[in-house]
Amino acid sequence: QVQLVESGGGLVQAGDSLSLSCAGFGRAFHSYSMGWFRQAPGLEREFVAGSNWNGGRTHYAESVKGRFTISRDHAKNTVYLQMNSLKPEDTAVYYCAASFPGTEATIEARSVNYWGQGTQVTVSS
């Protein structure tokens, strides 16, 4: 079993940056693809960024390409999402996700095996 704990959310102004962290707990953590999803009130949870098991391949939603970067630190069992040039439309609860097998960087919400509790990101104009 894998447990995920996110941190790093907060309130920022448009153009600012935030870095989210997701700490993983579990022996099989390194075998999973890892990703970030976000969900605004009343909307569907959407894919933001993903990484295969070793970070060799990544994939991003078109809306965040060039602004967000996903990375993994296996020694720390941690996945990060660096968010730059934030926009008000990035406002959402951000969720860390683990999906097995770990070969893919693109993750569908329905295939997620484990979710973090979510961390709120709010971007003001």
pLDDT at 122: 98
Residue 26 dihedral angles phi and psi, to the nearest 5°: 145, 145
pLDDT at 110: 93
Complete DSSP assignment for 68-86: EEEEEEGGGTEEEEEE-S-
Is residue 35 within 8 Å of residue 51, measured between CB atoms? Answer: yes
DSSP E strand stretches across the chain: 3-7, 10-13, 18-25, 33-39, 46-51, 58-60, 68-73, 78-83, 92-99, 114-115, 119-124
Whether the per-residue pLDDT at 28 is higher than 80: the answer is: no
* pLDDT digits 0-9 by tens, 35-48: 999 999 999 999 99
Whether residue 27 is predicted with pLDDT greater than 80 in this model: the reply is no
Measure the CA–CA gap between 116 and 42, rounded to whole angstroms.
19
